[in-house]
Amino acid sequence: AVRFLLSVWIFIPGCDSDVTCRNDNGAPVDWYIIYKYPRMIGGGLRYLYMDEHSTNGWTLSTKRISKGALLKTLAPLLDFYVSKTTDFGYLLYNDQPPGHDASSSYGHSKGVVMLDKTGKTGVWLSHSTPRFPTYRNRNFWPNNGNDNAQTFLCVTFPYDSFREIGEQLKYIHVYPFDHYIPTDFPKELGCLTKQGCYRNKKPWYRMKTLTSKANREFYSFAKNKLFGDDLYSGLILKKVKKNLYVRSWGKRGPTKLLASNCEDPHRHLYNVKRVELPHGAPFIDTVDHSKWCVTERGAFTCIADLNRMESQKKRGGGAICTTNHVVGRAFRALIRKSEPCPHKKPRG
């Protein structure tokens, strides 16, 4: 009996260390989306959560941002810092890594890639948070992360999908600030850890359908800096062929913000200026660092890298998109005010 109990005790941590997206309770999920509140609501530590089991859309997590789904998902990485697990690899990329900013020649893109060669799974966690995660520290949540609203999309993919994912990240030219990719892992990811690994010929964009571990389709858009146009109006809008609402960082900087785009008479792009998340007050785009878009009708929804700014036409970046109807309805329901086209009335 003692031997049996001991074997069970040993087995369970092994399960918990599998590379997969995990919910607040640590249970494996195929995907999830997190929308974190800005500091003005709950000190910037509370968040909304949704995954494939969320038939009614958003739920308010009972956890703080550093204690819930992100902690459970990143557990294999945090454990690796202590005990170098075999058959594990990772790539952390961020245009604003811990301690400094990357050159603008790199893509404006933030994410975490983790792979388990034995379990044949991997995680792609795309997000909008500067300095995340902290450098090789179990306290992975950066203090600056509390200030603004942020979005996270985690998808569990089969191991072999990371060849295509690596190629998408090559188009974007992500800035890897920390990594461990063994030589027998997908060479497309290994390439990203080296100088000079970026797209150097046309076409300057790539769209790819990716299938999750549970056979759900996601759509990845990637643009190189030489694409020379806005990700949303120049690429996504032309693909979906429907009116599109876009939420991105609205704080004015040295470069001008792009206005709502109504050049195409058949499909318009509207900047979302104010949102209201469930269980919170409305807030404007100067405290919302998230990047997302949703079609006016249908369910096409993306979590993205780039802001609608003139300068970011010349930055690499991408988006991961879904046609899940629950997700589409959940994001559309957040919109309270959008920026009109000339002579158009605003929504809300």
What radius of gyration do the chain's Cα atoms show? Answer: 20
d(CA 129, CA 132): 6
Contact 162, 144 (CB under 8 A): no
127, 173, 268, 289: the active-site residue: 289
Q: Report the candidate in 28, 111, 36 with the shortest Cα–Cα distance to residue 73.
A: 28
β pairing state of 269-275 and 244-247: parallel
d(CA 203, CA 4): 58
Task: Go through the chain and tell me how many residues it has.
Answer: 348
Quick check: is 100 catalytic? no
d(CA 322, CA 216): 9
Residue whose structure tokens are 């109006």: 233
Q: Which residues are catalytic?
A: 289
